Amino acid sequence: MSTLLEIEGLTKRFGPITAVDDITFSVERGEVLGFLGPNGAGKSTTMKMATGYLSPTAGNITVCGYDVRLHPIEAKRRIGYLPEGAPLYGDMTPNSLLNFVCDIRKLPRDQRRQGLDHAIESLHLHQVLHQPIETLSKGYKRRVGLAQAIVHDPDVLILDEPTDGLDPNQKHEVHKLLGRMASTKAIIISTHILEEVDAVCSRAIIISQGRIVADEKPSQLEARSRFHNAVGIRIAAEGAERCVSVLNEISEVHSVQQVVQPSGLNELVAFSANGGNIIGQVRTAIDRSGLDVVEMFIERGRLEDVFRDLTLGAPAAAEVKEEAGNA
Ligand SMILES: Nc1ncnc2c1ncn2[C@@H]1O[C@H](COP(=O)(O)OP(=O)(O)OP(=O)(O)O)[C@@H](O)[C@H]1O
Ligand SMILES: [Mg+2]
């Protein structure tokens, strides 16, 4: 694997606000990195700096060996960037915008034809190719933005919420497209859709208040969740109470949580006492009890839980001091 993007000590201040605070990471060819974090965490600001559209207060960015500040043209040539929101130039059509991008990027004729065909085909733009962008629906605008990011077949793709506003079919198509491109590129996507991390990312960075708070494989992040190796059970209402007692008697079970679904079905979660696999013990106990269980499954862990813990953790030192002062 080769490192295609290197970010070192990246910091951005807007007056008194530190939007990005000393961030360091690199991305290899073949990696799809999910960039997660609450609103205002600094994801878009980091992406704007990585693509050379915003200059950092401090730090270095290298794209395919080219320093973005010293060799901006060489670096930008190797980057495809989908910014937040809708594409610029709303009065252009997707066709004229994509051709315009090819002109700016000075793509040779054969590469241009290939790039246009691939982008239009992959994002299913045929139908809207000659319609002004400002009259397109939100999802189509997003797809035009994605098309302009990939038309020159860049080594590094930086996509700020690429599936925002896409319908489930198009979301699936974009996931497949990312999967197809993954082996030959370094890809960063920001997203608020945590299932997307499992669907497309080989690695995830969680950023909070401008700093990296986790940088791991999705499975490692999930393993931090209290739901990791918990056993979920769906059972009809009449058996639920006895099932809770049966589960509570298992020594490897730490506790049992019960949720009544709107459908009337009860969902029970048996948490593992030591984080280990308890499905064998649970199955034996349920079989012995004769309870009629609808479904039983092992939880991998819930990213949502981990995300919350990491980003809502302890209040910042300044806030603690302030609260103490007010007490
Ligand atoms: N041009 C600017 N001037 C002043 N502050 C800014 C500017 N751009 C961003 N910020 C601030 O920087 C912080 C990080 O913003 P950023 O857009 O990077 O967050 P984000 O993680 O992308 O959030 P979201 O999930 O809402 O897209 C926020 O506090 C934001 O208000
Ligand atoms: Mg953003």
Give the pLDDT confidence of 180-202 residue by residue, as tens digits.
Answer: 999 999 999 999 999 999 999 99
3-class secondary-structure state, position 256: strand
Residue boundaries of the structural domains of the chain: 3-223, 231-299
Between 321 and 299, residue with greater pLDDT: 299
Measure 68 CA to ligand 1 centroid, in angstroms.
Answer: 21
> Could you tell me the fold of the domain covering 231-299?
Alpha-Beta Plaits (3.30.70)
Q: How far is CA 277 from CA 61, 235, 283, 286, 305, in A?
A: 43, 21, 12, 16, 19
Q: What is the arithmetic mean of pLDDT over 114-140?
A: 94
> Running DSSP on this structure, what letter comes out for residue 53?
S
Percent residues over pLDDT 70 in the chain: 94
Measure 44 CA to ligand 2 centroid, in angstroms.
Answer: 4
- Across 95-185, the runs of DSSP E, i.e. the strands, are 156-160
Type and span of the H or E element at 270: strand 266-272
Residue of 11, 17, 190, 205 best suited for mutating to test ligand 1, as the one with most atoms within 8 Å of CB: 17
User: What is the model's pLDDT at position 325?
Assistant: 42
CA neighbor of 107 nearest in space, from 150, 143, 69: 150
CB-based burial of residue 139 (10 Å sphere; 0-12 exposed, 13-18 middle, 19+ buried)?
A: middle
Q: Evaluate if residue 146 carries a pLDDT over 70.
A: yes
Supply the residue whose CA is at minimum distance from atom 12 of ligand 1.
19
User: What is the model's pLDDT at position 44?
Assistant: 97
Gap between the Cα atoms of 225 and 60, Å rounded: 34
User: What is the model's pLDDT at position 87?
Assistant: 65
Sorting pLDDT into bands at 50, 70 and 90, what band is 125? very high
Q: What is the arithmetic mean of pLDDT over 28-33?
A: 97
Phi, psi of 7 (to 5 degrees): -125, 130
CA neighbor of 74 nearest in space, from 141, 154, 13, 149: 154
Measure 37 CA to ligand 2 centroid, in angstroms.
Answer: 9
Gap between the Cα atoms of 320 and 314, Å rounded: 9
Sorting pLDDT into bands at 50, 70 and 90, what band is 265? confident
3-class secondary-structure state, position 69: coil
Sorting pLDDT into bands at 50, 70 and 90, what band is 9? very high
Gap between the Cα atoms of 220 and 217, Å rounded: 5
Q: Choose the CATH number for 3-223 among 3.40.50.300, 3.40.830.10, 3.40.50.720, 3.40.1010.20.
A: 3.40.50.300
Q: Evaluate if residue 320 carries a pLDDT over 60.
A: no
Protein residues with CB under 6 Å of any ligand 1 atom: 14, 17, 19, 37, 39-45
CA neighbor of 237 nearest in space, from 211, 214, 194, 267: 267
Sorting pLDDT into bands at 50, 70 and 90, what band is 314? very low
Whole-number mean pLDDT of the chain? 91
Ligand 2 ion: residues within 5 Å (CB): 43-44
User: What is the model's pLDDT at position 1?
Assistant: 58
Name the maximum alpha-carbon separation found in the chain: 72
Give the number of whichever ligand sits closest to the CA of residue 38: 1
User: What is the model's pLDDT at position 264?
Assistant: 77
Q: How far is CA 16 from CA 57, 189, 260, in A?
A: 12, 28, 47
Measure 126 CA to ligand 1 centroid, in angstroms.
Answer: 34
Sorting pLDDT into bands at 50, 70 and 90, what band is 274? confident
pLDDT tens per residue across span 73-111 = 999 999 999 999 766 788 999 999 999 999 999 999 999
User: What is the model's pLDDT at position 318?
Assistant: 36
